[in-house]
Structure 1
Amino acid sequence: MRSGELAAQAGVNAQTLRYYERRGLLTPPPRSPSGYRSYPDEAVTSVRFIKRAQDLGFSLDEIEELLDLADGGPEDCDSARALTRNRVAQLAERIADLQRMQQSLTELIATCQRPREQRSCPILTSLQEGEHP
């Protein structure tokens, strides 16, 4: 199938396919005599795998490793599990960071209760001074 067909079936655009090829995530397909890429049907499965992994927050480097593991046998489950546990830990750190940012911003908003003529904006002051509650 051609790039446009694959892209439509996998829910990506043709530039994404070429990028995946350059990154080594998708095997470059043979070309037809007229120069068009001719992808095998299983390319749809590969691209969908990549997109699902991205949706779960895996980096392209991690996805490359997952693709390699997917080609292996049952012993590769341990490696996939370890990679996924690492990703979960990274997500937990990111969530904690986001919660801290949310708390800081919530506290800044709460300081805006003074009458207008008696205040300067504590949010802007905090950002200018590099402070946070």
Structure 2
Amino acid sequence: MKIGDIARAAGVTTSRIRFYERRGIIAPAARGANGYRDYPADLIAILRFIEQAQGLGFSLKEIASVEVAGGAHPISCDEAIRLLSRKLDSVAALIAEAEGRKRRIEALIAELRERRQDAA
């Protein structure tokens, strides 16, 4: 398939596909005798997987470390559960850290307001 066809089917831009190739996220396309890139139809599912993973907070480095297969499901359910569980733990830790930071900021605001009141 040509790059434009793959891009439309996967809902990404052609420049994004080229970027993924340069970064080693996806395998380089074979080139036909005419010099055009020729992509396998399986790439559509892989590109959708990459986009979904990025939307869930996975970095390209994390995505590149996953061994993907061809077909409609680029990774197994077991692998997806393992990766998602690890990401969920990471997100929970970030939320806890942010909540702690929020409490410290609120306490500092309250303290500063109290000092301002005492000084007035």
**Both structures adopt the same fold (TM-score exceeding 0.5):** yes
Deviations 1:31-67 (A, max 9, x none): 233322121222111100111111122222322333x
> Residue 56 of structure 2 corresponds to which residue in structure 1?
56
Higher relative contact order (CA 8 A, sep 6+): 2
* Pair 1:13-2:13 in alignment: yes
- For structure 2, which runs of at least 5 residues remain unmatched after alignment? 71-75
Change (3 A) 1:38 1:79: closer
- For structure 1, which runs of at least 5 residues remain unmatched after alignment? 120-133
Give every structure 1 segment of 4 or more consecutive aligned residues whose post-TM-superposition deviation is greater than 6 Å. Answer: none
Provide the aligned C-alpha RMSD in A. Answer: 2.9
Q: What's the TM-score once normalised by structure 2's chain length?
A: 0.68
What percentage of residue pairs aligned between the two structures are identical? 38
Matched residues, number: 112
More divergent stretch after superposition (100-109 vs 81-90) = 100-109
Conserved in 2, the CA contact under 8 Å of 1:29 and 1:38? yes
> Residue 73 of structure 2 corresponds to which residue in structure 1?
none
Q: How does 1:1-133 map to 2 (within 5 A)?
A: 1-66=1-66, 68=67, 70=69, 78-107=78-107, 111=112
Q: What's the TM-score once normalised by structure 1's chain length?
A: 0.63
1:63 corresponds to which letter in structure 2?
I
